Structure 1
Amino acid sequence: MGLLATKPVETPLPQNHRLGDATGPLFSDPACYRRLIGRLLYLTLTRPDITYPIHVLSQFMLAPCQAHYEVAIRVLRYLKSHPGQGILLRADCDLQLYAYCDSDWASYPMSRRSVSGYFVFLGSSPVSWKSKKETIVARSSAEPVRVCCDNQVALHIASNPVFHERTKYIDIDCHFVCELLGTGIITTAHINTHLQLAVIFTKALGTSQFSLLLDKLCVYDPQPPP
């Protein structure tokens, strides 16, 4: 990209960005923007630290604005600050899976859809992560709903696990997860917001919090630049 002499930055995405409702001029060479984002998508396979920024920027492949291109260049400037950074797969592993999930409710200003993200460890080694815009609009993240239904069997099934044998037409995945929760193979736990590792996949963070989470996610640069 001809940016070898550019000044590096410490975070790939500016905090409190407004890329979703950017109204500036369109970028003059959208094909160049698409090629750049396409290349950066491959890098997210080993660089979870740029997963959320690339997820955001890939929303504007059809008609990117100048502001979108400038932020894409910022990602390159961030990569220059830590060119060898990647995930660390440790030799000492307890072979247990640990997962973190987070959601940024209604964060897309144009559609008010939420962004969800997750991060999975095998022992202390990162093995899977994702940032995704939800396909529907969520009215609330924790709002009680009263549902009226004329099917008494469905109502009994929802309130009484004894009727689970009648639920063959309900999604199998739901029951699979419920069984794992019942046997203790999967357990759930509340975590403080400041310790939520998956937040790095749902929103742009400041330098201090971003660096702290990268360390906890086992993302390192074995040979940092001087």
Structure 2
Amino acid sequence: MIQTAKLSQDSGAPLEDNSQYRRLIGKLLYLTITRPDICFAVQQLSQFLDKPTTDHLQAAHRILRYVKNSPGQGLFFPANSSLKLRGFADSDWAACIDTRRSVTGFCMFLGEALISWKSKKQGTISRSSSEAEYRAMALAACEIQWLIYLLETLEVKMEGPAVLYSDSKSAIAIAENPVFHERTKHIEIDCHLIREKLQKGIIRLLHISTDNQTADILTKPLQPLSFQKLVSKLGLHSMYNPACGVLEDKPTTGQG
């Protein structure tokens, strides 16, 4: 998506026929099952299914052009990957122009393989960026717990506690501080949830810089260079590119 473009319900002229837009978004939603790089853009456009406009359709066509330029791109699952679970959680505070709700994004890796991801608008309005980040961490913590249950059912033994990365130092401080303050009582349930996972040793919180936050691609439009950088971090590869890089030319022996 264009980084400077802010889509809303009133942007553009209403479409005369909504069926084309709805069919297109429905197909793109299925494509997000294997293409996390378009997850945020499709999530944004799916909010306007009731009254789509020309601007929304133009943004959807932009996604189609991107998919057409990379038809063989998909997730790669290495065979020799470790069994350490790690996740990245991020949010874009008050990103929605119409409702001022924040957008949550997280992605989960088992070793080097991406196994779970989500881009979703939060259900309530967050009154601060720390609250929005904390709600994203809470949703990611629930996903980590579910993945742990799934791996135990499959008799897969994890290597140590799961690591959850966040670029918000204030949200990490709230999770690690056992004392509740007046400003955090409105998110008390999420505080109890994450703190319980920390005390049981299920997850471990680590700070990460915004430039290295992989989940950033699931919360907001990015510049092309930043977007491509995070796409490579998600483990997406094109089946039409050489898997082993450029082959070196073998020296000739001179035998005919």
In structure 2, do the counterparts of structure 1 residues 15 and 159 end up closer, same or farther at CA, with 3 Å as the change threshold? closer
In structure 2, do the counterparts of structure 1 residues 35 and 208 end up closer, same or farther at CA, with 3 Å as the change threshold? same
Counterpart of 2:246 in structure 1 is none
1:34 aligns with 2:51: no
Q: TM-score, normalised by structure 1?
A: 0.78
In structure 2, do the counterparts of structure 1 residues 212 and 39 end up closer, same or farther at CA, with 3 Å as the change threshold? same
Counterpart of 1:138 in structure 2 is 126
Question: 1:22 touches 1:67 (CA, 8 Å); kept in 2?
Answer: no
1:194 aligns with 2:211: yes
Task: Tell me how large the CA RMSD over aligned residues is.
Answer: 2.0
Task: State how 1:61-210 maps to structure 2 within 5 Å.
Answer: 61-142=49-130, 159=179, 177-210=194-227
In structure 2, do the counterparts of structure 1 residues 104 and 79 end up closer, same or farther at CA, with 3 Å as the change threshold? same
Higher relative contact order, chain-length normalized (CA < 8 Å, sep 6+): 1
Deviation at 1:84, TM superposition (A): 0.8
Counterpart of 1:212 in structure 2 is 229
- Code of the residue aligned with 1:104 in structure 2: it is D
Task: Map Cα deviations across residues 16-74 of structure 1 (whole Å, 9 max, x no partner).
Answer: 21112543211122111000000010000000000000000000000100010011011
Task: Map Cα deviations across residues 159-217 of structure 1 (whole Å, 9 max, x no partner).
Answer: 49xxxxxxxxx97x976653431243310001000000000000001110011111111
Question: 2:106 touches 2:215 (CA, 8 Å); kept in 1?
Answer: yes
Give structure 1 regions of 4+ aligned residues with deviation exceeding 3 angstroms.
173-180
- Code of the residue aligned with 1:78 in structure 2: it is Y
Q: TM-score, normalised by structure 2?
A: 0.69
- Code of the residue aligned with 2:34 in structure 1: it is T
Determine the C-alpha separation between the residues in 1 that align with 2:222 and 2:74: 19
Determine the C-alpha separation between the residues in 2 that align with 1:180 and 1:62: 39
Where does structure 1 lack aligned partners over 5 or more consecutive residues? 1-12, 144-157, 161-169
Determine the C-alpha separation between the residues in 1 that align with 2:221 and 2:32: 16
Where does structure 2 lack aligned partners over 5 or more consecutive residues? 132-177, 181-187, 242-256
Counterpart of 1:46 in structure 2 is 34
Determine the C-alpha separation between the residues in 2 that align with 1:182 and 1:129: 25
Deviation at 1:90, TM superposition (A): 1.0
- Code of the residue aligned with 1:49 in structure 2: it is D
